[in-house]
C-alpha cells in the first residue's frame, strides 16, 4: 500500500511454484520494468481438470522463496488454497474467444480457472504490470483479452520462452521425464523449427505445416500428439493461410504420461 502511494511501479509474476530458470527470467523482465517485484506462488485448484496432476504437482515453497530472494524479488505472495477461495466461491471469468481450441479443447475449464485466479491475484496484489511467459501463448492471449474486455488496469507483458541448451522449453513438468524421454524431448522444438524453415522457404498452407509437424513427431511413435495448431497469434483461432509475423504454431504432445507444450511464431 505504502509502496503504491510512494509512486513505485509494481511488477507481478504469477506462478505455481517449483520455480526454474524460465520463471526467474520473468522476474528479470519485471525488474527491468518495475520498481518493486511481487511473485505469487499458488497451485490453483480451479485450473486443473479432475484427471490432471493437481495432487502430484511439485510443491517446494522453501526452495522457491530462496530462489526469489536470490533473484531480487521484493515480495513473495503464497496464499493457502483453502484461504484464497471463499468456501462459497461462485464467481468465474469466462473468456470465450482465445480460450477456444488448442489447450482449451483438451483441458475444459482450464482457462476459466486461470482467468479467475489471475483476476483475483491482480485484485489483491494490485500490480501496474504483470509478466507472463510465451511458453503458455494461449494463456497470454486469454489474459490480454480479459484485461482489455474488462478494463483491468494492469499492463500485460509477454516474456520469451526460456529453453534448455538442447531447445526443450523449461517446465516444472520436465522432471517427470525418464532419462530416455528426456533425450527425445528436444525433438518437439526441433520439429517446430523445421516448420519455421518451411515457412521461410515459402510454405503458406497451414494444413501442410500441421501435417509436417504431426508426421515428424509421430515418427518412431515417440510422441503421442494431442494437437498441432496453426492459429492467429492474437485470437488463437485456426487459420488456413500463414501470415508471417501474425501466425503461431502451437503443439501439445505426450511423452509417456508427461504432457509437453511448445510454440513458435511463423
| Residues tagged active-site | 23
- 71, 112, 135, 189: which one binds ligand AMP (CB under 6 A): 135
Site size toward ligand AMP (CB under 6 A) is 16
- 103, 147, 162, 216: which one binds ligand AMP (CB under 6 A): 162
Q: What angle do CA 43, 47, 50 make, to 5 degrees?
A: 100
String marking each residue 1-40 x if it binds ligand AMP according to CB under 6 A: --------------xx-----xx--x--------------
Annotate 64-123 with three-state secondary structure. Answer: HHHHHHHCCCCEEECCCHHHHCCCCCCCCCCCCCCCCCCHHHHCCCHHHHHHHHHHHHHH
Task: State the CB neighbour count (10 A cutoff) for residue 94.
Answer: 11
Chain-centre distance for alpha carbon 253:
15
- 65, 170, 194, 196: which one binds ligand AMP (CB under 6 A): 170
Q: How far is the CB of 194 from ligand AMP (least distance, A)?
A: 20
Q: How far is the CB of 72 from ligand AMP (least distance, A)?
A: 17
How many Å apart are CA 88 and CA 83, to the nearest integer?
12
With cell 508426421, the residue in question is: 215
**Interacting positions 140-159 with ligand AMP (CB under 6 A):** 159
Pairing of strands 224-232, 247-255: antiparallel
Report the residue closest to ligand AMP, judged by CB. Answer: 133
Q: How far is the CB of 228 from ligand AMP (least distance, A)?
A: 20
Handedness of CA 10, 141, 65, 89 (dihedral sign): positive
Check if the beta carbon of residue 154 is closer than 8 Å to that of residue 147.
yes
Stretch that binds ligand AMP, among 56-64, 98-106, 128-136, 178-186 (CB under 6 A): 128-136
Binding residues for ligand AMP, per CB under 6 A? 15-16, 22-23, 26, 132-133, 135-136, 159, 161-162, 169-172
Amino acid at each position: 500500500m505504502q509502496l503504491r502511494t510512494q509512486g513505485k511501479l509494481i511488477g507481478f509474476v504469477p506462478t505455481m511454484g517449483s520455480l526454474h530458470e524460465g520463471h526467474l527470467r520473468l522476474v528479470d523482465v519485471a525488474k527491468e520494468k518495475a520498481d518493486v517485484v511481487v511473485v505469487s506462488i499458488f497451485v490453483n485448484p480451479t485450473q486443473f481438470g479432475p484427471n490432471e496432476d493437481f495432487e502430484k504437482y511439485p510443491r517446494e515453497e522453501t526452495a522457491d522463496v530462496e530462489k526469489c530472494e536470490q533473484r531480487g524479488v521484493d515480495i513473495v505472495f503464497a496464499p493457502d488454497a483453502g484461504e484464497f477461495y471463499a468456501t462459497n466461491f461462485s464467481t468465474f471469468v469466462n473468456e470465450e474467444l482465445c480460450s477456444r481450441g488448442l489447450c482449451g479443447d483438451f483441458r475444459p475449464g482450464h482457462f476459466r480457472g486461470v482467468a479467475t485466479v489471475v483476476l483475483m491475484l491482480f485484485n489483491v496484489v494490485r500490480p501496474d504490470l504483470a509478466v507472463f511467459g510465451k511458453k503458455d501463448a494461449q494463456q497470454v492471449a486469454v489474459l490480454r483479452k480479459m484485461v482489455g474486455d474488462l478494463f483491468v488496469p494492469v499492463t500485460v507483458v509477454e516474456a520469451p520462452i526460456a529453453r534448455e541448451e538442447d531447445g526443450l522449453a523449461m517446465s516444472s513438468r520436465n522432471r517427470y521425464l525418464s532419462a530416455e524421454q528426456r533425450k527425445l524431448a528436444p525433438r518437439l522444438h526441433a520439429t517446430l523449427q523445421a516448420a519455421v524453415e518451411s515457412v521461410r522457404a515459402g510454405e503458406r498452407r497451414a494444413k501442410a505445416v500441421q501435417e509436417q509437424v504431426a508426421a515428424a513427431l509421430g515418427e518412431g511413435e515417440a510422441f503421442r500428439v494431442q494437437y498441432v495448431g496453426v492459429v492467429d497469434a492474437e485470437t488463437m483461432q485456426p487459420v488456413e493461410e500463414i501470415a508471417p509475423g501474425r501466425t503461431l504454431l502451437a503443439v501439445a504432445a505426450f511423452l509417456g504420461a508427461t504432457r509437453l507444450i511448445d510454440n513458435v511464431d511463423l
